[in-house]
Chains A and B, each alone.
Chain A
Amino acid sequence: MEKVASECPARRVTKLRATALRRAFGACVDRLAEKMADMTEKIQNYRTAPFDARFPNTNQTRNCYQNYLDYHRCNKALAAKGLDVSPCDWYQRVFKSLCPVGWVEKWNDQVENGTFAGRV
């Protein structure tokens, strides 16, 4: 999936008003808004985790784990920039489809306790 959070070039913005933001980021924000609308539609039409070419083989352990990591990283990155975190729902749907419930609960506990081994 495209890196939503880093689409727009970093620019110094002193005013947070819509007009100032639009002047600063212009077309980039329109493209971002379009991508987020596509993403919302993709999530609404979700059936199950689609084929992921990064994990073409029988062993799907990494597919599950990677989506779990990406969900948390996406949340952290978008929240840090003050953007809407709903595109991250895609990763959540995918790892919920793929990962056993027991694994997710264990990892959630570890994240809460700060003992999760992955970088989130």
Chain B
Amino acid sequence: MATPLQLGFQDAASPVMEELVHFHDHALMVVYLISSFVLYIIITLVMMKLTNKHAHDSQEIEIVWTVLPAIILIVVALPSLRILYLMDEINNPHLTVKAIGHQWYWSYEYTDYKDLSFDSYMTPTQDLTPGQFRLLEVDHRMVVPTESPIRVLITADDVIHSWTVPSMGVKMDAVPGRLNQTTFIPSRPGVYYGQCSEICGANHSFMPIVIEAVPLKHFEDWSTSMLEFT
């Protein structure tokens, strides 16, 4: 989850998010280099005493400031495209979960074997126990097994919502009448939070998403117990 005054990304919990963080670090370094170079040039130009009223053209500098930006763009674009294609790779998922957005809660369906479906409402602030996170906790989390490709099919029942878990690097709109697919692989066990990312009415800020990634055996126990419970 995000912490107050946080500037950077949350810790990555999937291989794709790890790649995105590394790419972001790389692109940001390019941005710092260009910005500091430009700032230096501007300050130098303003502070120096030399003036030249007769400069008309210069082939050399024109070539440099055409070729160098092209190289910089390639240096940024190649890793970017690599990750774009990585995200699109065909992986046969181990599990399919459906996430359906309602006003103002999510519901999850696990129907590969038996029919398991449940609603996931935000825990109201007055009902939180010490150590829980305000506006992020839910009554029933979406539990998934670790190190398995999970396919999530996202749709909505009423208005457009958006399902996201930043630490997994996934975000997908929940559109009524449409089934949007995204996949992710939880690398490690843990609890990962997200919030609805498309304005959907009065309680748009109060319908969070919580994923609990657990080893497969625990996932099987959980789904058995949920089937008995619901």
Instruction: Answer yes or no: are A and B bound together in one complex.
Output: yes
Residues of A within 8 A of B (CB): 46-51, 56, 58-61, 63-64, 93, 96-102
Q: Tell me whether B117 is interfacial, beta carbon within 8 Å.
A: yes
Q: Which residues of A contact B95 (CB under 8 A)?
A: 47-48
Cβ–Cβ contact A60 & B109, under 8 A: no
Cβ–Cβ contact B153 & A98, under 8 A: yes
Q: Tell me whether B24 is interfacial, beta carbon within 8 Å.
A: no
Residues of B within 8 A of A (CB): 90-96, 98, 100, 109, 111-112, 115, 117, 151, 153, 155, 157, 172, 177-182
Q: Which of A51, A59, A98 contacts B92 (CB 8 A)?
A: A51
Q: Which residues of B contact A59 (CB under 8 A)?
A: 178-181
Return A110 CB to nearest CB of chain B, in Å: 15
Return B185 CB to nearest CB of chain A, in Å: 14
Chain B residue with Cβ nearest A65: B179
Q: Which residues of B contact A51 (CB under 8 A)?
A: 90-92
Q: Which of B90, B111, B112, B177 contacts A101 (CB 8 A)?
A: B111
Cβ–Cβ contact A60 & B98, under 8 A: no
Cβ–Cβ contact A50 & B178, under 8 A: no
A105–B182 Cα gap in the complex (Å)? 24
Q: Which of A61, A96, A100 contacts B100 (CB 8 A)?
A: A100
The 5 A-B pairs with the shortest beta carbon distances in the complex, nearest first, are A48-B96, A61-B179, A60-B181, A60-B179, A48-B112
Q: Which residues of A contact B91 (CB under 8 A)?
A: 51
Cβ–Cβ contact B112 & A47, under 8 A: yes
Cβ–Cβ contact B96 & A97, under 8 A: yes
Chain B residue with Cβ nearest A46: B112
A16–B109 Cα gap in the complex (Å)? 46
Cβ–Cβ contact B151 & A100, under 8 A: no
Chain A residue with Cβ nearest B109: A101
Q: Known contacts A97-B111, A101-B109, A102-B157; decide if A48 and B177 are in contact (CB<8 Å).
A: no
Q: Which residues of B contact A63 (CB under 8 A)?
A: 179
Cβ–Cβ contact B181 & A58, under 8 A: yes
Cβ–Cβ contact A100 & B178, under 8 A: no
Cβ–Cβ contact B109 & A100, under 8 A: yes
Q: Which residues of A contact B177 (CB under 8 A)?
A: 61
A100–B112 Cα gap in the complex (Å)? 12
Return A106 CB to nearest CB of chain B, in Å: 12
A101–B179 Cα gap in the complex (Å)? 13
Return B142 CB to nearest CB of chain A, in Å: 15
